[in-house]
A and B are shown apart, each in its own frame.
Chain A
Amino acid sequence: GAVVSQHPSRVICKSGTSVKIECRSLDFQATTMFWYRQFPKQSLMLMATSNEGSKATYEQGVEKDKFLINHASLTLSTLTVTSAHPEDSSFYICSAQSGQGSQETQYFGPGTRLLVL
């Protein structure tokens, strides 16, 4: 099946620094990737939709200047948490869309656990 990787899997940083998380589709091309945030024991919350070659679409309440998304190629999207603060600590999960129409499926990366001290 389709494989999506994320790097790093875990990161600890100091408050005020920026952190970049990479999401790659390893065996398929994805024009659309998604970034989710998951708080402990809660469901996934969609943060933004990343489209290759264009600006990301952010969900209501998500600060686009704080969570910078770049979809530079059909296999790579990056999420940069700028000037991270402890409240940004969370589990960030990306997904990549494969297929079209009724065959459309999202494949998820393993997640990146961010801890801001």
Chain B
Amino acid sequence: GDSVTQMEGPVTLSEEAFLTINCTYTATGYPSLFWYVQYPGEGLQLLLKATKADDKGSNKGFEATYRKETTSFHLEKGSVQVSDSAVYFCALSDPPNTGNQFYFGTGTSLTVIP
């Protein structure tokens, strides 16, 4: 079945460091891929998404490219800020095969220190 595997955290970085959070997926068909961010005490916010192979989603300096050949959707940011401290979830949606259900990774906690 469909699933998402995320790198385990927690991740601690200094401000302005480069960030990569790995995400790989398994899917029957051609899913859409998402990154969500959850700030402390809040719900999930959509950060970016990509709906087909080679698409690049980007938002707030974060980027992720849909790589079909490696079944990956790694999240990157060139220079993190303290305000980026949050939990990041990779997710996929594969409606033709799994209906409306989203599959989430386990989340990666990021702490950015000044």
Chain A residues closer than 8 Å to B32, beta-carbon distance = 102, 104
Chain A residues closer than 8 Å to B101, beta-carbon distance = 46, 49
Instruction: Contacts A93-B44, A109-B43 given; indicate if A104 touches B104 (C-beta within 8 A).
Output: no
Question: Does residue B46 face the partner (Cβ distance < 8 Å to A)?
Answer: yes
Chain A residues closer than 8 Å to B89, beta-carbon distance = 43-44
Question: Does residue A101 face the partner (Cβ distance < 8 Å to B)?
Answer: yes
Q: Which residue of A lies closest to B50 (CB)?
A: A102
- The count of A-to-B residue pairs whose CB atoms sit within 8 angstroms is 54
Question: Does residue A60 face the partner (Cβ distance < 8 Å to B)?
Answer: no
Q: Mark B30-55, 1 if CB is under 8 A from A, else 0.
A: 00101010000111111001011000
Q: How far is the CB of B114 from chain A (nearest CB, A)?
A: 24
Please tell me if the beta carbons of A104 and B93 are within 8 angstroms of each other in the complex. Answer: yes
Give the interface residue-count category, chain A: 20 to 34
Pick from B45, B52, B105: contact of A43, CB below 8 A.
Answer: B105
Question: Does residue B100 face the partner (Cβ distance < 8 Å to A)?
Answer: yes
What CA separation (Å) do A105 and B32 show in the bound complex? 9
Which chain A residues have a beta carbon within 8 Å of chain B's beta carbons?
1, 6, 32, 34, 41-44, 46, 49, 93, 95, 97, 101-111, 113
